C-alpha cells in the first residue's frame, strides 16, 4: 500500500511537518492520533493535550496524522467547506504543542482500506506506533467501521496502548466539526466560537473592488478568501482584523450587496479609524458577532444611515470589551 503525504508550508512554527514517508523513521515508535481535525475544536484540543501528555510521560514523539482533502469529499463525492485550511490546522496544532504533523493525501485507496489494514499497514508497520489516542466517537477504515474497541483489540495484538478521550459538550450539544459548521452557516458565530475555543477566523488577500464603499464614506477592503474555506451566513458582522502586527475593529459584510443590484458574492471589511492603502496585504479576520442580515435599502442614504448604526455598535462593543 502506497501512502502519499502532502507538503504543508508553514512559517515560524514549532511543529515539524513531515513530508515524505521516509520521514516516518524520525518518529518511529511514536504516540499517534489520527483524524481530519477540521477546525481543531475543543474536542480535538482535548485529544491533542492527552496525546502530548502520553508522549512526554513515555518520552516518545507526538504525531498527528490528518487528511486532505476531507474524507467526505472522496467517500460521498460532495465538497466540504473547511473550517480550517491545512495550513491553518498545522498552525493551530503547533500552538497546541504537537511535535510532528503528517498530512495524508486521502484518496479512494485509503477510503477502501479495512480498519485492520489501516492500523497494520500505516500505524504499525510505518510508524511503529506505541500509543494511540482517540476520541470517544472515533471511526476509521472503510465506512468508519473501526472504533475504540477494535483499536484496543488490535493494541493487544500489535503491542500498543490505547487512550480514549471523553465527549466534549458546548451546553447540551456535542462538540463536532459538523456542529460548528452548522452554527456558522446559520450566522451564529458566537456558538461556533464556543466549540472552537476561539473566534472563527478567515484569511483573505486584499484585492481591487469597485470602490463603492469609498464613495459613501465607508471604504472597504475586498477579500479574496480561499475557495475551500467556509464562509458564515450572509450578513453584517462585528470582527477583529489583524493587519500585519496591528489589530483593528471592523465591520464585515458577506453577500451580494442588493442595494447596488449586484449578484456577485463578496467579502468586504471596513476597518474603523483606518485610512491606509493595504492592497496586496493578507488580513486575518476573527468573527465576533452577527449584527444583522444583509438587506436591500430604499436608497443610498438609507444604507449610509444603517452603516453608521452598525459602526457605532462595533465601536461600542469594542469599548465595553476593554473596560
Terminal-residue alpha carbon distance, the chain: 58
Cell of 57: 510521560
pLDDT at 261: 75
* Residue positions counted in the chain: 323
Cα separation, 198 vs 192, whole angstroms: 9
| Whether pTM exceeds 0.85 | yes
H-helix or E-strand spanning residue 161: strand 161-165
Say if domain 17-170 classifies as CATH 3.40.50.150.
no
Cis, bond preceding 186 (omega within 30 deg of 0): no
**pLDDT tens-digit series, residues 86-133:** 889 988 998 999 988 888 889 999 999 999 999 999 999 999 999 999
**Cell 493535550 maps to which residue?**
49
Q: Are 271 and 264 in contact (CB under 8 A)?
A: no
Per-residue pLDDT at 11: 46
Answer whether 165's CB lies under 8 Å from 46's CB: yes
Q: By the 8 A CB rule, do 155 and 161 touch?
A: yes
How buried is 13 (Cβ within 10 angstroms: 0-12 exposed, 13-18 middle, 19+ buried)? middle
Alpha helices in 265-323 (DSSP H): 300-322
| Residue 22: predicted pLDDT | 64
* CA–CA gap between residue 317 and residue 12 (Å, rounded): 33
Residue 238: C-alpha distances to residues 187, 264, 274, 311, 321 (Å): 12, 22, 15, 9, 13
Domain 199-322 is found in CATH 3.40.190.10: no
Below-70 pLDDT ranges, the chain: 1-2, 5-23, 318-323
Domain positions in the chain are 17-170, 199-322
Amino acid at each position: 500500500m502506497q501512502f502519499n503525504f502532502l507538503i504543508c508550508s508553514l512559517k515560524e512554527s514549532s511543529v515539524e511537518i513531515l513530508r515524505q514517508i521516509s520521514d516516518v523513521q524520525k518518529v518511529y515508535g511514536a504516540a499517534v492520533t489520527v483524524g481530519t481535525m477540521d477546525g481543531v475544536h475543543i474536542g480535538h484540543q482535548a485529544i491533542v493535550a492527552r496525546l502530548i501528555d502520553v508522549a512526554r510521560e513515555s518520552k516518545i514523539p507526538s504525531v498527528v496524522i490528518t487528511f486532505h482533502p476531507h474524507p467526505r469529499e472522496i467517500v460521498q463525492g460532495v465538497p466540504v467547506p473547511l473550517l480550517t485550511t491545512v495550513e491553518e490546522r498545522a498552525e493551530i496544532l503547533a500552538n497546541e504543542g504537537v511535535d510532528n504533523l503528517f498530512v495524508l493525501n486521502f484518496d479512494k485507496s485509503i477510503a477502501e482500506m479495512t480498519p485492520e489494514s489501516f492500523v497494520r499497514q500505516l500505524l504499525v508497520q510505518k510508524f511503529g506506533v506505541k500509543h494511540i489516542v482517540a476520541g470517544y466517537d472515533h471511526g476509521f477504515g472503510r465506512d468508519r467501521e473501526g472504533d475504540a474497541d477494535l483499536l484496543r483489540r488490535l493494541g493487544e495484538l500489535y503491542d500498543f496502548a490505547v487512550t480514549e478521550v471523553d465527549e466534549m459538550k458546548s451546553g447540551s450539544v456535542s462538540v463536532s466539526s459538523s456542529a460548528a459548521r452548522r452554527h456558522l452557516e446559520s450566522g451564529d458565530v458566537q456558538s461556533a466560537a464556543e466549540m472552537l475555543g476561539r473566534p472563527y477566523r478567515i484569511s483573505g488577500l486584499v484585492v481591487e473592488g469597485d470602490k463603492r464603499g469609498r464613495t459613501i464614506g465607508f471604504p472597504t477592503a475586498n477579500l479574496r478568501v480561499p475557495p475551500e474555506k467556509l464562509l458564515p451566513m450572509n450578513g453584517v458582522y462585528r470582527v477583529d482584523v489583524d493587519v500585519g502586527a496591528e489589530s483593528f475593529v471592523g465591520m464585515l459584510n458577506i453577500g451580494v450587496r442588493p442595494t447596488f443590484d449586484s449578484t456577485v458574492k463578496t467579502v468586504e471589511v471596513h476597518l474603523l479609524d483606518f485610512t491606509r492603502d493595504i492592497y496586496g496585504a493578507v488580513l486575518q479576520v476573527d468573527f465576533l458577532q452577527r449584527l444583522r442580515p444583509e438587506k436591500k435599502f430604499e436608497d443610498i442614504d438609507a444604507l449610509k444611515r444603517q452603516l453608521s448604526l452598525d459602526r457605532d455598535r462595533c465601536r461600542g462593543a469594542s469599548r465595553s470589551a476593554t473596560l
